[in-house]
Amino acid sequence: MGFDKLLAERTRAMDANVIREILKVVSQPGMVSLAGGIPAPESFPLEIMHDLTAIVIDKYASKAFQYDPTEGFGPLREILVDYLQQKGIKSNKEEILVASGSQGVLDAIGKVLISKGDQVAVEAPTYLGALQAFTPYEPEYIRLDTDDDGLIPRSLEKVLDGGGIKFIYLVPTFQNPTGRTIPLERRRKIAAIIKKYDTLLIEDDPYSSLRYRGTEIPSIQSLAPANVVYISTLSKVFAPGLRIGFCVAPALIRKWLVIVKQGTDLHSSTFNQALAAEYISGGFLARHLPSIINLYRPRQEAMLSALDKYFPDNFKWSRPEGGMFIWAEGPAGFDMGKLYNKSVQKNVAFVPGKYFYASGGEGIETMRLNYTMTDEETIDRAVKIISEVIKREM
Ligand SMILES: Cc1ncc(COP(=O)(O)O)c(C=O)c1O
């Protein structure tokens, strides 16, 4: 039978995640991949996992293996209140919803809010996984202009002036894919704008804990709590395979997020949530985070100095103070897709930036480089190889 006849119209709107497809290609032996967006395996706190598991079993016994409320495991929601407080986000246990990764929240947001044809405003470029979560519900994406400091507030205001925007989706800190961070002054303007237009912002914040330099910047949620769904995750500071994400959302939105999550998975893994609760409340996270930062900081510095050393003068790139990515741009018309193919032949991979734009045809001359998965020496060598291919192409 031709099962494709059975596919829902919605399913036809979906696409495989290009990066996951690229990752399959570049996982061949010998390939240096600057393409991934994943934490280094050596950043996981493996040495405490036996103890943590024993603590969970001793403390919660069968409760850690039982069905649990959709909203999340009680002790985790409680400790997340403190965790968020340290990030300047005021919440109470009832306002927190735990999900299977922040991706789980993004999927639920799409299901709850987007009807076919609804307008969703996203940065150009934006996080591909958010587009993948929203696209099945068939929104119309509205482009928000960005510069080196992220979203340009005037562009947001212009888009909102047009009326009809369902919500705005932003990654304000160490954005995926660009690494850019919206400075405080702009955040204040954005907060004032979303209040003025009484609109909803989805603030996705997986990376703010991975800061290598500079000082922490308040979330937009802390500046306009009634207008923001704040999403974060333990994927980058604990282990992504445990799939622990969470959000703080205004009451009505949260109510519906819970209802759709009931239909999706009833609740996220109780055992993993118990591990996460003990990881934070036992002080393991606070003790382990500096070692993750100490692992990534020199890798980022190695990439920035390799770019300074090898990349041609007509290229520019972001200089983030944290996160996992650097965004590089070639001169207008330079085809990074072609460069990608040539570079893979030399066993070095990255992600061409065009995939991060909601509308086709943009970002041809851009690329995303990841530094968390590769040691300093290899980063230097890989950037040198890419730059040699660039020079040949030019
Ligand atoms: C901006 C952004 N949001 C969400 C996610 C999903 O993270 P997770 O589902 O592991 O929490 C990622 C992962 O890379 C990301 O970069």
Please give the pLDDT value at position 278: 98
Closest ligand 1 atom, residue 106 Cα: 4
Closest ligand 1 atom, residue 233 Cα: 11
Tokens of residue 386, six digits: 């890419």
Best of 103, 181, 208, 246 for a ligand 1 pocket test (most atoms within 8 Å of beta carbon): 103
- 372 C-beta closer than 6 A to ligand 1: no
Torsion of CA 101, 205, 86, 370, to 10 degrees: 90
Please give the pLDDT value at position 359: 85
Please give the pLDDT value at position 368: 97
Distance from the alpha carbon of residue 102 to the mean position of ligand 1, in angstroms: 6
Contact yes or no for 339/367 (Cβ under 8 A): yes
Best of 204, 205, 242 for a ligand 1 pocket test (most atoms within 8 Å of beta carbon): 204
- 100 C-beta closer than 6 A to ligand 1: no
Distance from the alpha carbon of residue 14 to the mean position of ligand 1, in angstroms: 19
Average model confidence (pLDDT) across the chain: 95
Contact yes or no for 109/127 (Cβ under 8 A): no
Torsion of CA 236, 238, 244, 250, to 10 degrees: -60
pLDDT in tens, 360-376: 889 999 999 999 999 99
- 176 C-beta closer than 6 A to ligand 1: yes
Q: Which regions in the chain score pLDDT beneath 50?
A: none
- 37 C-beta closer than 6 A to ligand 1: yes
Tokens of residue 114, six digits: 């987007």
Tokens of residue 206, six digits: 């997986």
- Phi, psi torsion values for 329, nearest 5 degrees: -130, 130
DSSP labels, 190-214 = HHHHHHHTT--EEEE-SSTT-B-SS
| Closest by Cα among 73, 36, 44, 83 to 233 | 83
Closest ligand 1 atom, residue 171 Cα: 1
Distance from the alpha carbon of residue 343 to the mean position of ligand 1, in angstroms: 27
Distance CA 38, CA 236 (A): 8
Contact yes or no for 185/223 (Cβ under 8 A): no
Whats the size of the chain, residue-wise? 394
Distances (CA, A) of 367 to 275, 338, 357: 37, 12, 12
Distance from the alpha carbon of residue 298 to the mean position of ligand 1, in angstroms: 23
Best of 127, 169, 205 for a ligand 1 pocket test (most atoms within 8 Å of beta carbon): 127
Residues 6+ apart with CB under 8 A from 353: 125, 177, 327, 329, 336, 363, 365, 366, 367, 368
Please give the pLDDT value at position 288: 98
Closest ligand 1 atom, residue 324 Cα: 16
Please give the pLDDT value at position 331: 96
